[in-house]
Amino acid sequence: MTKIKICGIQRIEEAKWAIEAGAHAIGFVFAESRRNIDVESAANISAQLPKDVIKIGVFVNATKQELIEISKRVQLDYVQLHGDETARFCKQLGIPYVKAFSVKEKYDLLLVKDYEEEMVLVDSGKGPYRGGNGTVFDWNYLESIDLKGKKLILAGGLNSENVREAVMKVRPYMVDVSSGVETERIKDQKKIKEFVRIVQMADEEYENLSL
Q: How far apart are CA 126 and CA 172, in angstroms?
A: 21
Q: DSSP for 59-78?
A: ESS--HHHHHHHHHHHT-SE
* Residue 110 pLDDT level (bands cut at 50, 70, 90): confident
Contacts of residues 9-16 at CB distance under 8 Å and 24 or more positions apart, as own/partner, are: 9/37, 9/45, 9/187, 10/35, 10/37, 10/41, 10/187, 11/45, 11/187, 12/44, 12/45, 12/48, 14/187, 15/45, 15/48, 15/49, 15/53
Residue 130: pLDDT band by 50, 70, 90 thresholds? low
Res 77: pLDDT: 98
Report the distance separating Cα 16 and Cα 123, nearest Å.
25
Which residues sit opposite 154 in a β-bridge?
Answer: 122, 175
Half-sphere exposure of 7 (CA within 13 A, CB side): 33
Bigger pLDDT: 26 vs 150: 26
Q: Give the DSSP per-residue string, 168-197.
A: HHH--SEEEESGGGEETTEE-HHHHHHHHH
Bridge partners, residue 151, by sequence: 119
Higher pLDDT, 52 or 150: 52
**Distance between CA atoms of residues 88 and 42, nearest Å:** 28
- pLDDT tens-place string over residues 66-79: 999 999 999 999 99
Break the chain into its structural domains and give their ranges: 3-210
138 sits in which H/E element = none
User: Per-residue pLDDT tens for 137-186?
Assistant: 889 988 877 777 889 999 999 999 999 999 999 999 999 999 999 999 99
> What is the average per-residue pLDDT within 88-111?
91
Architecture of domain 3-210: Alpha-Beta Barrel (3.20)
pTM over 0.85: yes
Q: Given a cut of 90, is residue 135 above it in pLDDT?
A: no
> Where in the sequence numbering do the catalytic residues fall?
7, 123
Q: For the chain, what is the radius of gyration of the CA atoms?
A: 16
Strands 174-177 and 182-183 come out as unpaired
